Amino acid sequence: MADAISVRGLTKFYGGGLKGIVAAVDNISFSVAEGEVFGFIGPNGAGKTTTIKILLGLLFPSAGEAEVLGKPAGDIETKRRISYLPESPYFYEHMTGAEVIDFYCRLFRMNAGLRKTKTTELLKRVGLASDGDRTLRQYSKGMLQRIGIAQALINDPDLLFLDEPTSGLDPIAHKDITELIASLGKQGKTVFLSSHQLGDVETVCDRVAIINRGKIVKIGTLDDLLHAGRTVVTLARPGDGLVEKLKSLAERVSSDGELVRFYVESEDKVHSLLEAARGKATLVSVVPQRQTLEDLFVEIVREVGK
């Protein structure tokens, strides 16, 4: 499949200031395939927003190349096919939700009939169907975020850049927006998602890059990045003698009434434990525990920070 985004040796220096010259993005290379939901994560100041702004043509790189939908970043024709939800979307407070969407529809030169249909459809899609007549001044943070997302869907883009789409949302809004992003992925859209909500990224993304201090320190599919962790083997009513015997195979043992849980590191040890327990206790479950993206993130960013 063709690449929706392709970046080679991309570098951005911000000049001057008290901190001197800062390499916000430092010689990064990566690509995102068409139809992929790609997670771009990293700590504050890592270079995520800077990278997105370069891909949108809002900032010029100091070095390197960036292609978006087969054209150099910033290409005018390509802009019709992409959209952007900025980190802190700025909207005109005196306008109503419906007016804001209508305003952005005008920028895409849509006629009055189409604008009306679009506005109704998009407000509904982001859960603001009954709030279209209220001004943005009366909107909560989550409602503003939803309007931002509606705005990013106006041109039915092939590629969406979402910078922190779920920041400041309550759990329900959060779930709605995450599901919306997943549905965009299912429709075949390419999504470039930057977020500190690693659970969301883990839920919706196909591939992830971790950026730290301007450099990509890890990139791959979630399956490749998140190695299998330990396995929890739960037995019912193992005798005291058996627990004592099995203890050496486990990192940790916990008991809860009749149930005893063994936290086992390797697959070999799981087999040995099951073999030793056979006929002597009831096997309740064997549950592999995958490392989470948060575990990996903390591990990598701490390691690099040392």
- Where do contacts with Mg ion occur on this chain (CB under 5 A)? 48-49, 87
Q: Which does 22 bind (CB under 5 to 8 A by kind): Mg ion, ligand ATP, none?
A: ligand ATP
Residue partners of 82: CB distance under 8 A and separation at least 6: 56, 68, 69, 157, 158, 159, 160, 161
Q: Please give the residues from 68 up to 127 whose contact with ligand ATP meets the rule CB under 6 A.
A: 87
Residue 59: CB minimum distance to Mg ion, A? 13
**Structure tokens that stand for 266 in this block:** 């390797």
What is the Cα–Cα distance from 186 to 144, expressed in whole angstroms? 25
Q: Please give the residues from 3 up to 62 whose contact with ligand ATP meets the rule CB under 6 A.
A: 14, 22, 24, 42, 44-50
Residue 44: CB minimum distance to ligand ATP, A? 3
Residue 20: CB minimum distance to ligand ATP, A? 11
**Structure tokens that stand for 216 in this block:** 């990509």
| Residue 24 or 246 having the CB closest to ligand ATP | 24
Residue 227: CB minimum distance to ligand ATP, A? 26
Residue 105: CB minimum distance to Mg ion, A? 27
Of 137, 172, 168, 131, nearest to 150 by C-alpha is 131
Q: Which does 35 bind (CB under 5 to 8 A by kind): Mg ion, ligand ATP, none?
A: none
Query: Beta strands 190-194 and 22-33: pairing type?
Result: unpaired
Q: What DSSP element (H or E) covers 51?
A: helix 48-55
| Residue 45 or 239 having the CB closest to ligand ATP | 45
Q: Which does 47 bind (CB under 5 to 8 A by kind): Mg ion, ligand ATP, none?
A: ligand ATP
Phi, psi values for residue 121, rounded to 5°: -60, -45
Residue 210: CB minimum distance to ligand ATP, A? 11
Residue nearest to Mg ion (CB): 49
CA separation, residue 48 to residues 192, 193, 196, 290, 298 (Å): 11, 10, 11, 27, 17
Of 306, 301, 289, nearest to 41 by C-alpha is 301
Q: Which does 70 bind (CB under 5 to 8 A by kind): ligand ATP, Mg ion, none?
A: none
Helices (H), 191-292: 198-204, 222-225, 240-246, 267-277
Q: Which does 118 bind (CB under 5 to 8 A by kind): ligand ATP, Mg ion, none?
A: none
| Residue 41 or 296 having the CB closest to ligand ATP | 41
**Structure tokens that stand for 154 in this block:** 């106006």
Residues of this chain that interact with ligand ATP (CB under 6 A) are 14, 22, 24, 42, 44-50, 87
